[in-house]
Amino acid sequence: MLMSAQVACAFDQTHRGWDELLKHAVVVAPNGNSSRVDYAALKRDDRALNAYLGELSAVTLAEFRNWPQDQQLAFLVNAYNAYTVKLVLTRYPALNSIKDIGSILQSPWKKEFFTLLGARRSLDGIEHGLIRAAGAFDEPRSYFALNCASIGCPMLREEAYAGARLESQLDSATRRFLADRSRNRYDASSGSLEISPIFDWYKADFEKGRGGATSVNEFLARYADVIADGAAGQALIRRAHVPLRYLDYDWALNDIAK
């Protein structure tokens, strides 16, 4: 009887509640490499989102630590994205950027507005305190799965991340982001890579991440086929010596209505 109760109360590692919300609220661009969010629909009926957030907050730290690493990372990525949506909805539609929620004294990412794994946390607490913790995951591709509710950010995926599919999902997220020419591109005229400032902000993580890359160029070399359209550009990128130029970051809200 006890075993049956434990199974019944086990956390849903498919993240079905979040998955269903994403399938209805995320609109993917025709090229498949970016998305917008129907915040108005989520605002009208936030019961499903609150139910999913309740499932997340009910997970104890001891339970979390017993999961395989891929399940842990999928949980944290989904939590970051779902709580980001929740934060936006606290002010929607009276905002043009998630930055509008912050103040001079506190950025929106430092607001401790939810409980996760038994502690009050902020979005920064998930990203920097848990996902980026030294030796925890060392997975730079996670940055392409996290969505900060902004146009410049990697897209909010139209499905939940799940431990059983995490490897393929992270690879897909990385390739989709790098294939978006508004945020990453090879400039043949200058022979340089124009890339998202994410690669500058987290440069150290790309230099020591899974797979043994020792530079941003080496990381990008693995994805030359999606960054450049022509064979010549792809060949140069694979040599990992292409000059890098960081583009501006668009903090406008990724709202379908904008």
Residue 3 and residue 6: Cα distance in Å, rounded? 5
Strands 244-246 and 192-195 come out as: parallel
- Residue 222: CA count within 13 A, CB half-sphere: 14
Amino acid at 174: T
d(CA 193, CA 239): 13
| Domain ranges, ordered by start, for the chain | 13-180
Q: Rounded to 5 degrees, what angle do the CA atoms 238, 77, 46 make?
A: 135
Q: pTM (2 decimals)?
A: 0.95
Q: How far apart are the first and last CA of the chain?
A: 52
Bridge partners of 116, per DSSP, are 119
pLDDT band for 80, please (50, 70, 90 cuts).
very high
**Tens digit of each residue's pLDDT (9 = 90 or more) over 183-233:** 999 999 999 999 999 999 999 999 886 666 789 999 999 999 999 999 999
Neighbouring residues of 175: CB distance < 8 A, sequence distance ≥ 6: 223, 226
